[in-house]
Amino acid sequence: MICIAEYTAAATAITAVAGWITPAEVRTYVSINADPWDNNKQIDFEEPMGSLGIEYDFHKHARLFAEHLSSPMQCNDHPGINHAGIKLLAPVGDVTLYSGISVNSSHIDSNDRFNGPLASLGVEYGNDFKIYAEHLASVKKVEDGRTSFGFKVFFK
């Protein structure tokens, strides 16, 4: 069953509008991604997951970002997982490798077992439409994180 509530619909619309009215350097996106193994120990969402985000590449090797993660496949995921931080970028031809650090609040978020800051490691390809793979985990238990594959559609 797909469960997209009014908060998700409103947040998606706000994400798109924010992308259209902010400067071109500030990019917003919606994403769908999935962990094909669904065996991580830190995130308890049904697959696939979706995300809404905003990012700003303030240098060719550094990006500020904020992201909301939740599952359109379950109705009890409010308020989802929310995190913000910085990613270090390594462009290699048309592909960008990245690693990042972010903070979230497990006391406010739902359906996660994070403890402390989060680490991300990933690869992305594309510009207005990106295909990506990412591992997201607590820095204290990186091996228990979630590895996912997906795509992002950007608004700018």
Domain ranges for the chain, please list them. Answer: 6-155
Task: Name 34's bridge partners.
Answer: 149
DSSP structural state of residue 47: S
50: confidence class by pLDDT, cuts 50, 70, 90:
confident
pTM across the whole model: 0.85
Is residue 107's pLDDT more than 70? no
Q: Could you give the CA distance from residue 38 to residue 18 in angstroms, rounded to a whole number?
A: 32
Fold of 6-155: Porin (2.40.160)
CA distances from 139 to 11, 23, 48, 149 (A): 28, 33, 23, 20
Q: What is the pLDDT of residue 10?
A: 77
pLDDT, greater one: 126 or 48: 126
